[in-house]
Structure 1
């Protein structure tokens, strides 16, 4: 079965850190490619699959069997979330993928701090919904920024609070819809 592939143009180039399937390392991207597979998808080479399905050296690539997703532009940047979970969070096909791209210049420490902010927001959303786990086994996060020197974007900063609020509420909305 061929997957559904959805692309989002970021409108500019961001430096990213990610746990997604592609790309690897610190790199610049200008688009998101989300690959929606069937829950029966099983491959020994998901990295090769995503590159075949979405051949682009300038895209962050997420894969999921979740059905609910959104891409939003905000006053601080853009974000993408696809969200679905199994009963226990152990179903690898049901995933929470998050891409956050801020229109602020961060250094590597700032990107790492942004990963923390986004991860805490995701865990908070799951707690809000009554789950006893903080994520699923196949979740991925990508964070990106413009080149710069800011090193702190935690949930105690004004921008970190906005990002955490948007991510947390959007995950709750997507998961509340269910994944049927």
Structure 2
């Protein structure tokens, strides 16, 4: 496990393996997430982005994840778990440190089921493993509306990256994401530079950095996936 930031409100460490991205915090983080386990507005000391096979489809994903956590000796309490069929050890990563906040972004991407929001397409009664997963870790104090705003900014940046990379859906339309994306926004809620982040739009200090970091991390993750496919792996 490596420290995420050079300095932070308290120790936060991470590691990346072929099986998962693991982020561990010594104190609870405030999280807003669409995760299968630990989803919603909650607190968490561990965030995981777990690699699963593309055929993964248990009848009860939450129960399967709880069993997996137990088998790995990982806590099931205050834990957030994302799922993806993408290779998590080939994702994108960016870190930004300023006088007002510290930010780390992890992105994993597989665009085999790329989709464009607003168009007609297939629907599924059961979610499949997310294929563009984003984790935003912020050392700074944020309002809950700002956390929601950061999801908007991150989603816009993701869509911009896919557009610039000419990622398309099966009908040839420029994709805005995939049909199963997920996100985690986690904040220490500690003061950095005595600044409260009430906004996270692209014109705010935090939002600008979120947009840039997510854009770059998603580009890196998609480009890594393309190289893997071109190599026949």
In the superposition, the TM-score normalised over structure 1's length comes to: 0.86
- Map 1:109-148 to 2 at 5 A: 109-131=145-167, 132-147=174-189
Secondary structure of residue in 1 paired with 2:209: helix
Q: 1:22 maps to what in 2?
A: 37
The 8 Å contact of residues 150 and 201 in structure 2, kept in 1 or not, is answered as: yes
Q: 2:136 maps to what in 1?
A: 100
Cα RMSD (Å): 2.4
CA distances 1:26-60 after superposition (whole Å, capped 9, x unpaired): 21112221211111212221122222222422222
- Map 1:27-176 to 2 at 5 A: 27-54=42-69, 55-67=75-87, 68-75=90-97, 76-86=102-112, 88-89=114-115, 92-93=128-129, 95-131=131-167, 132-147=174-189, 150-176=197-223
- Of stretches 80-89 and 61-70 in structure 1, the one that deviates more from structure 2 is 80-89
Q: Distance in 2 between matches of 1:13 and 1:78?
A: 17
Stretches of structure 1 that go unaligned for 5 or more consecutive residues are none
Q: Distance in 1 between matches of 2:49 and 2:114?
A: 24
> Which structure's CA Rg is the greater one?
2
Q: Distance in 2 between matches of 1:74 and 1:150?
A: 16
Secondary structure of residue in 1 paired with 2:30: strand
Stretches of structure 2 that go unaligned for 5 or more consecutive residues are 1-17, 70-74, 116-121, 168-173, 191-195
- Count matched residues: 178
How far is the alpha carbon of 1:95 from its aligned partner? 0.3
- Of stretches 41-50 and 83-92 in structure 1, the one that deviates more from structure 2 is 83-92
In the superposition, the TM-score normalised over structure 2's length comes to: 0.68
- Of stretches 39-48 and 148-157 in structure 1, the one that deviates more from structure 2 is 148-157
The 8 Å contact of residues 91 and 224 in structure 2, kept in 1 or not, is answered as: no
How far is the alpha carbon of 1:119 from its aligned partner? 0.8
The 8 Å contact of residues 35 and 50 in structure 1, kept in 2 or not, is answered as: no
The 8 Å contact of residues 15 and 29 in structure 1, kept in 2 or not, is answered as: yes
